[in-house]
Chains A and B, each alone.
Chain A
Amino acid sequence: MDDIDAMFSDMMQEMDLLTQSFEAETESAPLPKPPSIPAPQEMNFSIGFTDLNASLHDLEDNDLDALMADLVADISATEEKFATERDTFKGSAPVAQIPSQPQSNFNLIASTDTSRPATSSNSIAAPPPPPTSKPSKEELEEQMKADKIKLALEKLKEAKVKKLVVKVEITDGSSKTLMVDERQTVRDVMDNLFEKTHCDCNVDWSVCETNPDLQTERAFEDHENLVEPLSTWTRDTENKVLFQEKKDKYEVFRNPQNFYMWKKDKKSLKDMKDKDKEQLLEENFCGASVIVPDLEGILYLKEDGKKSWRQRYFLLRASGLYYSPKGKTKASRDLVCLVQFDNVNVYYCKEYRIKYKAPTDHCFILKHPQIQKESQYIKYLCCDDVWSMTLWVTGIRIAKYGKQLYDNYKAAVRKAAGSATWANRTIQTSSNASTPSPTPKAKAANGHASHPAVETKGPGNQTSFPPPPPPSMEILPPQPPDPMLPPPLPAPSSTTKVNKFPPPPQFPQSSIPPPPTDDLPPPPPPPEDAEQPPDFLPPPPTSMTSYGGAALPPPPPEPLASLPPPPPAPQNFASAGGAPPPPPPPPPPPAPAPAAYQPTNSVRKVAPSPPQRTTPQLAAPSGGDFMSELMTAMQKKRSQP
């Protein structure tokens, strides 16, 4: 119980702190001053920045607004709850509350003294009348405690959703900053980026991570969550997030023959009919289990802890990457498993010829995503040429992700097709888009709807609470050219590019009996009635009789449906309503050197706490510092001429 008590009062203090910072801004009634508390920072709040301040400065206005809105909603929700609690308290009958779950990107818990009574916070309502008899007082105390616990638990639930401010570098050297919450997939983030960058939405666009220490690069798969892998980066990381086109990403779905029939001469496969490609995909990706390309061949493996590379004969199987030891056959039973794919990802490497004395520069590694530096737990492999590297890396991705990869591709194709029609509109309105758009499901699950008071923009919920800085920007200067906008990824080119794109595969078609039908002579006259008894005709004819596809019936008259009309491009525009395009943020400050990073921060660095059920002990990071950063950022913006 002590824990809970402590936790609760901590939380109350935190609330006070937050509330107070807003109070200061809006100059409303002062609140009890919170004791100065050590406010640990949320460690992984931003990615691609050396400090939080920089990241906030970089955040586009509308993102900032959204962030503010979230926070305000968070606080006002808590306010609301306080009120409710007071009421409940007066009536001294506990009422089960439906927990509201506004988005919250940080934990509102700090560790401090437990002595301070929780009720001393910004309550206007008087504490309950002193109980008349002693036993009832005890009861009341118990009641109080129970209520506290209740509130604490609710708060904990709210604190679940984590957000990151991420700086994404774009091929042309510019960058975009956006807020990503942990429920968003890479697909969501890319949709967001499409709107921000006005690029064509072709399927090759990828969000990649680079690691300068290991000289690696990996494109995140579209279904992955972005926050999770980024959260495992070290605080002083120089890793970057890139947004770029990667031809390799979905090449296997455009030209499956090059991967699944890799042994054949590539030239002879060049003219493969679309129909045959579709059938290949159907066979390999739509069956009961995904078939992995039967890759095999010599690769170089860097020997554990040594500088030397050793040739080995490798084979790819769905269950892992194997090699056949010297002197043994390629038979399955003799294979040695180098690695299974459950816990590792595959990364492209750069310039390993210099770094590790690799035989060629076409290297890839397999490692646990959390490993960020050279380690004996990394498997280093080297191929003879680029194409074989592409083959292996793609093969491993298929083995690891299976059908998901194909689903991602289909979603990407739909998106690309959709964007072609919506291109114009997107260009006009995209500057509005900002808030991270959690998937609709996530949004619903977040309880926005269930608790009206939490509505971000709802004016009604601010009665017990000073209003946040209004999102409207009348006092702000006219809009100068947006410095954040990347040099045009020209829109016209984008449309042409989309058109060049291979038509989406028409899957229903593949239900047709195999192709031979087409090329064969018309079917022979039907043999005699099936009802007749086995014929008593003399023994088989001596001539060559011809069967084959000829006997096949014409393909079933199946509707050769092309893909359904593309859905309209998802509109991730902010709910900011008809607000005019917000002004630009202040220019980003020069990025401080990594050295500027304060060591104190890293002391408390623990592995990221899981989103579920954080307990106070572990959830050390608090929003305290962050809030003040945020406020200064906002103030700075406002004070700009």
Chain B
Amino acid sequence: AGYRECVCVQVRMAAWDLSVSVEELGPDAPPLKISVTSDLHIGGVILKVVEKSQIKQDWSDHALWWEQKQQWLLKPSWTLDKCGIHADARLCLTPQHKPLRLLLPSGVTLRLRACFSSPVFRCVTGLCKLLNIRRPEELSLLWPVEEKKKKKDKDVEEELYDITLFRRVFICALAGIIPKLANGMPAFFAETPETEAVYKMLAVSQPAPAPETIAKLYRSTNITEKAHINSRWLDSSRSLLQQGVKENDKLLLRFKYYTFHDISPQADAVRLTQLYEQARWAILLEEIECTEEEMMVFAALQYHIGKVSLTEQFVASCPAMDDLDSALQCLEVKMEGESSADDMLETMTAPELHDYLKIFRPKRLTLKGYKQYWFTFKDTTISYFKSKEESCKEPIQQMNLKGCEVAPDVSVAGQKFCIRLLIPGPEGMNEVYLRCEHEQQYSRWMAACRLASKGKTLADSSFSSEVQSIQSFLAMQKTTPSTNAAQTDESINTHSLVSPRYQKKYKPKQLTPRILEAYQNVAQLSLTDAIQKFLQIWQALPDFGLSYIVVRFKGCRKDEVLGIANNRLIRIDLSVGDVVKTWRYNTMRQWNVNWDIKQVAIEFDGNVNIAFSCVTADCKIVHEYIGGYIFMSTRSREQSNTLNEELFHKLTGGHEAL
């Protein structure tokens, strides 16, 4: 009604025609001409356009977009005059929220409605709220790598989840309401089976990809290429539409700042999963380098996470389950303390293994090979006797396995099931091989050896699960890996757990035992623990958290690389790859950007001044990285969850913030 009065007042002033195109009228329809005066408010313009269009619909999400200036006109009370709009302006009435294809860290594409009118920072905040990811300031959007379209691949449809059609999801996203949780997920996801499936996709890690998928994906082979990735970040202080993002475009959602604040497994199911996915792909695609030993541990964890994800779903998001482990442990202790004699009898007269096995000690200078004895396994000790009948006599030898190293030496195809033991003694390590006849026997003895090496006995509750995990891993070797198969229930091609470098270096059957070796240390972890362990090892890698930009230092003739981390800047020699210099943020006095010559100048304590121009990325990106990390460091220990958006823009916005 207020606008209507305004319209009445306008009549007396000099009127001119403003052309506004309305998306709903179709792309070819001519723009509507409406008669306006310079003191008409934006709100009034919209009202006039809507009236003229004669379309009845909900217009509440629409706003005016000024095409020539690439600006949104979001203040309804501002007059055309104040906005600087004259008759030559071409405006467009368009929804602020448009569908966007979002490529998640897990590689899944999600089609949803994103805000095209607010700064990317706020847009990401909204997306994260929708996806139930806390701490949205750590994420941002970037353009995907331009794919060289091969005609062959065209028919390969990408996996797409579409939630644009779910009205309630959209409304919640609009309103920015944090919805109540139902079944550990935001209520709007629990509404239909389809949305529930979407949430499951978000919160549960994806099965291991086929080895070809890894090999086919774009890989940056050197530091310069890695630096190019960072040129694709969107500007946080401007809107999507301003940056040329169009409806239905594809953008990547990624963790940009490698400082993950306050992760709590209960509240962060999606965040942890997506973080894990990003880390996993960074390792598979060699975006971050690691050693062979580390790769095997990563592979073992991936295998374990993939396996547990199939059975143990939503554990991370369900608060009741999360204490289950500790509750079980309590129970165990309690039972130990209070057990009646019968229970004690059961637990203490426990388990023992005995069987005929073959033993081989490579140290003894003989070629005798394996010799058969009667073996018993009790507590953490293996004893062996000449035969079963003599088992009541003194054993030929006893070996306490506590603290020993256990390694598999297995070939399912060759029906070879050996356990390699390195038993520490005062004189050194004694190498012993035990050869089992078949899988069942092997998995039991292997499990016993592993437990014993950690000082646990057969009576330990983890024995049976240990046996199972060994068997399932053996099953991996049995199935001849069809190269294309992704991870199904039990079988997996170990090539899908390592980067292409190791796919080339090792055959799956060579890789499996090595992964198995690493797997024994992680096989007992819960899903959340395994994911966190993966993230921990990732974060402990020397190159973790470095974002590279190729720069040219003032006074230097050649390009060098600037590495930006959460606490420091490093200067890297491009030819050798060595770190030449490190500057820490806490010695930084100020940094300046000259937007015209695109130069960043930084002053450190002790009159240290550096200046560089950015080669591979806009200096806004460098500026945003540095400011962003400083922003991240201000939030530590802050109890409140409110996000200081204003501060972020002050630190990262550049000239637009002033």
Report A's interface with B, CB cutoff 8 A: 4, 94, 96-99, 146, 149-150, 153-154, 156-157, 232-234, 261, 263, 276, 279, 283, 287-292, 294, 317-320, 322, 329-333, 335, 337, 340, 342-343, 368-373, 375-378, 445, 447, 508, 510-511, 513-516, 519-520, 527, 530, 532-536, 540-553, 556, 558, 606-610, 612-615, 617-618
Contact of A536 among B84, B350, B424 (CB under 8 A): B84
Of the candidates B74, B84, B657, the one whose C-beta lies within 8 Å of that of A527 is: B657
From residue B469, how far is it (CB to closest CB) to chain A in Å? 19
Q: Which of B613-650 contact A (CB under 8 A)?
A: 623, 627, 630, 633-634, 636-638, 645-647, 649-650
Residues of A within 8 A of B381 (CB): 607, 609, 618
Interface residues of B in 380-423 (CB under 8 A from A): 380-381, 398, 400, 402-403, 405, 422
Nearest CB of A to B299, in Å:
13
Query: Please, which residues of chain A bring their CB within 8 A of the CB of B267?
Result: none
Give the Cβ gap from A506 to chain B, nearest Cβ, in Å: 13
Instruction: From A289, A337, A516, A545, give the contact of B586 (CB < 8 A).
Output: A516
Task: List, in ascending order, chain B residues with CB within 8 A of A263's CB.
Answer: 582
Are B260 and A545 touching (Cβ within 8 A)? Answer: no
C-alpha spacing A283/B632, complex, angstroms: 13
Contact A546 B590 (CB under 8 A): yes
Q: Out of A340, A370, A614, which one reaches B293, CB within 8 Å?
A: A340
In whole angstroms, what is the CA distance A534 to B293 when docked? 51
What's the nearest-Cβ distance from chain B to residue A7, in Å?
11
Determine which residue in A98, A319, A532 has the highest number of CB atoms from chain B within 10 A of its CB, and name it: A319
Q: Flag if B378 contacts A541 (CB, 8 Å).
A: no
In whole Å, how far is B504's beta carbon from the nearest beta carbon of chain A?
A: 12
- With A153-B345, A153-B349, A288-B536 given, name 17 new contacts (CB 8 A): A153-B344, A289-B539, A292-B540, A317-B542, A331-B289, A332-B290, A333-B292, A377-B422, A516-B630, A530-B645, A534-B238, A534-B656, A540-B655, A545-B592, A546-B590, A549-B589, A607-B400
Q: Are A612 and B457 in contact (CB under 8 A)?
A: yes
Docked CA distance A550–B72 (Å): 30
Q: How far is the CB of A131 from chain B (nearest CB, A)?
A: 22
- Nearest Cβ in chain B — how far from A50, in angstroms? 18
Q: B319: which A residues are within 8 A, CB to CB? A: none
> What's the least CB distance linking A463 to chain B, in Å?
25
Closest partner residue, chain A, to B259 (CB atom): A287
B589 and A519 contacting across the interface, CB-CB below 8 Å: yes
* In the bound complex, CA of A514 to CA of B290 (Å): 30
Q: Is the CB of A516 within 8 A of B588?
A: yes
Contact B71 A153 (CB under 8 A): no
Give 9 CB contacts A-B under 8 Å: A288-B532, A288-B535, A370-B424, A370-B425, A516-B585, A548-B590, A551-B651, A552-B651, A610-B380
Which of B187-195, B247-255, B593-601 is the contact stretch? B593-601
> Could you say which residues of chain A place their CB within 8 Å of the CB of B425?
370-371, 607
**Do residues B405 and A319 form an inter-chain contact, with CB atoms below 8 A?**
no
| A-B residue pair count with CB separations less than 8 angstroms | 254
Q: How far is the CA of A556 from the CA of B633 in the complex (A)?
A: 12
Chain A residues, CB < 8 A from B657: 527
Is A97 a contact partner of B589 (Cβ separation < 8 A)?
no
Q: How far, in Å, is B547 (CB) from chain A's closest CB?
A: 17
Q: Which residues of B contact A614 (CB under 8 A)?
A: 379
CA distance A612 to B428 in the complex (A): 25
A536:B71 contact, CB within 8 angstroms: yes
Q: How far is the CB of B22 from chain A (nearest CB, A)?
A: 21
Q: Knowing A547-B651, A606-B398, A612-B457, say if A276 contacts B72 (CB, 8 Å).
A: no
B501 sits at the interface (CB 8 A): yes
Closest to B539 in A: A289
User: Is there contact, CB below 8 Å, between A318 and B69?
Assistant: no
Known: A153-B348, A536-B84, A548-B589. A337 touches B293 (CB 8 A): yes
Instruction: Return the contact of A552 from the options B289, B456, B630, B636 (Cβ within 8 A).
Output: B630
Question: Known interface pairs A153-B348, A289-B540, A368-B429. Does A610 touch B379 (Cβ–Cβ under 8 Å)?
Answer: yes
Pair B424/A97 contact, Cβ less than 8 Å: no
**Contact of A288 with B290 in the complex, beta carbons under 8 Å:** no
How far is B403's CA from A371's CA once the two chains are assembled, in angstroms? 11
Asked if A547 and B379 sit within 8 Å, CB to CB, the answer is no
In the complex, chain B residues whose CB is within 8 Å of the CB of A532:
75
Interface residue? B297 (CB, 8 A): yes
Name the contact of B426 in the complex, choosing from A146, A234, A536, A546 (C-beta under 8 A).
A234
Contact A333 B586 (CB under 8 A): no
Given known contacts A319-B537, A333-B291, A372-B426, A96 and B340 CB-to-CB distance under 8 angstroms? yes
Q: A150-B345, A533-B73, A617-B378 are in contact. Are A288 and B260 (CB under 8 A)?
A: yes
Q: Tell me, yes or no, whether B14 is within 8 Å of chain A by CB.
A: no
Chain A contacts for B405, CB-based, 8 A: 343
Chain B residues whose CB sits within 8 angstroms of the CB of A542 once the complex forms: 595-596
Which B residues lie within 8 Å of A372 (CB)? 426-427
B72 touches A533 (CB 8 A): yes
Q: Which residues of A contact B380 (CB under 8 A)?
A: 610
CB pair A99 B344 closer than 8 Å: yes
Q: How far is the CA of A575 from the CA of B499 in the complex (A)?
A: 62
Tell me the bound Cα distance from A607 to B397 in angstroms.
Answer: 12
- Compute how far the CA of A288 lies from the CA of B272 in the bound complex, rounded to whole angstroms: 13
Bound Cα distance A261, B581 (Å): 11
Measured CB to CB, the closest approach of chain A to B532, in angstroms, equals 8
- Shortest 8 CB-CB contacts between residues of A and residues of B: A375-B428, A548-B590, A511-B637, A607-B400, A370-B424, A96-B340, A318-B540, A372-B426
B71-92 contact mask (Cβ, 8 Å, vs A): 1 or 0: 1111100100001100000000
For the complex formed, measure the closest distance between the CB of A216 and the CB atoms of chain B, giving whole angstroms. Answer: 13
Pick the contact of B69: A290, A536, A618 (CB < 8 A): A536
**Which of A294, A333, A375 touches B289 (beta carbons < 8 Å)?**
A333
Nearest-CB residue, chain B, relative to A283: B567
Which B residues touch A613, using CB under 8 A? 348, 350, 379, 457, 459
Kindly state the separation between the CA atoms of A602 and B114 in the bound complex, as whole angstroms.
77
B217 is an interface residue with CB less than 8 A from chain A = no
Kindly state whether residue B144 has any CB partner on chain A within 8 Å: no
Question: Which B residue's beta carbon lies closest to that of A149?
Answer: B345
Chain B residues in 8 Å Cβ range of A283: 567
Roughly how many angstroms separate A287 CA and B540 CA in the complex, as a whole number? 10
Bound-complex Cα distance A556 to B344 (A): 57
Q: How far is the CB of A190 from chain B (nearest CB, A)?
A: 24
CB atoms of A547 and B590 under 8 A apart: yes
Do A558 and B289 have beta carbons less than 8 Å apart? no
- Let me know if A332 and B379 touch, CB within 8 A: no
Question: How long is the Cα–Cα vector from A543 to B592 in the complex, in angstroms?
Answer: 10
Complex Cα spacing A342 to B403, Å: 10
**A536–B590 CB distance below 8 A:** no
When C-beta atoms are compared, the residue in chain A nearest to B82 turns out to be A536
Which chain B residue shows the least CB distance to A289? B536
The 0/1 profile, CB within 8 Å of A marked 1, for residues 526-562 of chain B is: 0000001001110111110000000000000000000
- Binary interface profile of B, 326-363, with partner A (CB < 8 Å = 1, else 0)? 00000000000110111011001110000000000000
Q: Which residues of B contact A606 (CB under 8 A)?
A: 398, 400
Question: How far does the alpha carbon of A536 sit from the alpha carbon of B66 in the complex, in Å?
Answer: 11
A371 to B71, Cβ gap below 8 A?
Answer: no
Contacts of B337 in A (CB 8 A): 445, 447
B587 interfacial contact with A, CB 8 Å: yes
CB-CB under 8 A from B428, the residues of chain A are 371, 373, 375-378
Contacts of A335 on B, CB cut-off 8 Å?
A: 291-292
B312 nearest CB across to chain A (Å): 22
B654 contact set on A, CB distance < 8 A: 540, 545, 547
Shortest beta-carbon distance, A514 to chain B, in Å? 5
Assembly CA distance A536 to B80 (angstroms)? 12
Min distance, Cβ B606 to any Cβ of chain A, angstroms: 9
For window 437-475 of B, CB contacts with A under 8 Å fall at 455-457, 459
Q: Mark B149-189, 1 if CB is under 8 A from A, else 0.
A: 00000000000000000000000000000000000000000
How many angstroms between the C-alpha atoms of A371 and B398 in the bound complex? 18
Please give, as numbers and ranges, the residues of chain A lying within 8 Å of B646 by CB-CB distance.
530
Docked-complex contact B650 and A551, CB < 8 angstroms:
yes
A527 touches B540 (CB 8 A): no
